[in-house]
Structure 1
């Protein structure tokens, strides 16, 4: 992502409905799909400006990696964690067998080689460890927002499953989410194309609108960990190492 996108993320990620509700959903997914011991080790790959680290600390001791220098510095300042630099698949120095949970939260879509990136993380999981990944769903939803965020792709559920299974993982749970707001997002993206709008969809809405959107999106936490929703703006997958 470019500098302006990171800077805007840092300004809004504590209050914007999408970030707040997504953290609630991620919390529930971890609790229902990732069995963790009390001294679990957690890794966030691509932590951005660090807005998810407080959430992940509920589940264990957190390490984090972020390739962008200024975002990494801000994440370190915000969290007190010495966030590492490096790029997947070959530029990240992490111990093998170390992590009970690896989280990549809207990161994989930025990486040109998603398969090699997942293959590089496979040996970093501890025995019984799991990886949680969220990505944007629906190639047909591609828009100026994806371009502004330097996305390489949007995923189908089948395509996401395939890239995991091709790189040594067994899928435990796969679901769409941001389902209740899907019709609104589809309409907004269509209008954006007609108007040839540029840039991302990251503006902070008025407070009442923000509260409603957060409540609607956040309500999905009650079922995304147990059911596989058939459509939505995003996808979440939980996987573990399969025998190679």
Structure 2
């Protein structure tokens, strides 16, 4: 265990301890190992993502048309745009859908998540990852530790400067950052409100926030390019009825829409698609 990797998220002093407990001599902060997870029993749940929303996502992600092709696209982008080997940190890993891919690409993977139940699900999915209960705006890691940082549909839930600044603090100079956010404010709907989103992003806003926090944008693309017109019209014309159908589509619709997304990812993963419901970007620490 490399103790030099860890630092207090409150006062940034090094953490001391062993394989069962890490603690800060200065302020008393502690992480306790429990069933393979580093847990912070004092951590408050983030205001931008309710327990009910977490349960909803856990329920639908198994077969919703959005998740599977999106995961394949992110794995392809990572293989193309991020270095192999080294260590990687995923911020807000949720149930760990992408951890198996990261443990194939990187020598060592760490992931943080505020919900202990999500961490347990992530561990069941891939036990090779070091899993830590933490706030993405106050990370329990020392400066300049990671070669790669990953964050997928997390930034819209957190204060941008706090999260991006923390990501930069723990990243080494020249580290790469792959992230995704919901795209286009014109798609804003009740679903965004229920999910605790601050906003939906366009490229200019994301670039500005990255640059302000020590990152240089290297490239970007969008996901759900083909379905964008359908989903835009559904949200604009059908309102809550359309959003409900989008959240809980029929089996036939799920199969059809999932196939469209899969074809898009298969045929267009190397292209810079100009619009879609998700914006995906990669950046470098400067």
* TM-score, normalised by the number of residues in structure 1: 0.87
Greater Rg, structure 1 or structure 2? 2
Match of 1:203 in 2: 248
Counterpart of 1:160 in structure 2 is 206
How far did residue 199 of structure 1 move? Answer: 6.7
Alpha-carbon distance in 1 for matches of 2:80, 2:133: 30
Q: Which whole-Å CA distance do the structure 2 matches of 1:178 and 1:164 have between them?
A: 23
**In the alignment, which residue of structure 2 is the partner of 1:5?**
53
Shift of 1:201: 4.1
Equivalent residues of 2:157, 2:196 under 8 A apart: yes
Aligned to 2:149: 102
Task: Assess if the C-alpha contact under 8 Å between 2:234 and 2:242 holds in 1.
Answer: no
Q: 2:62 aligns with which of 2, 9, 14?
A: 14
C-alpha displacement at 1:33, in angstroms? 1.2
Choose from 69, 93, 111 the match for 1:64: 111
Aligned-pair CA distance for 1:96: 2.7
Q: Does 1:124 align with 2:170?
A: yes
Aligned residues: 236
Unaligned runs of 5+ in 2: 1-48
Structure with the larger RCO, 1 or 2 (CA within 8 Å, 6+ apart): 1
Tell me the SS of whatever aligns to 1:43.
strand
Q: 1:45 to 1:12 in 2, by over 3 A?
A: same
**TM-score, length basis structure 2:** 0.75
* Cα 1:213–1:196 shift into 2, 3 Å: closer
- Following superposition, the deviation at residue 73 of structure 1 comes to 3.0
**Deviation string, structure 1 residues 29-84 (Cα, Å, up to 9, x no partner):** 111211223xx212110011222212222212221100123323332344324521
Structure-2 change in CA distance of 1:209 and 1:55 (3 Å): farther
1:12-91 alignment, distance < 5 Å:
12-37=60-85, 40-60=86-106, 61-80=108-127, 81-89=129-137, 91=138
Residues 223 and 160 of structure 1, relative CA distance in 2, 3 Å threshold? farther
The equivalent of 2:281 in structure 1 is: 237
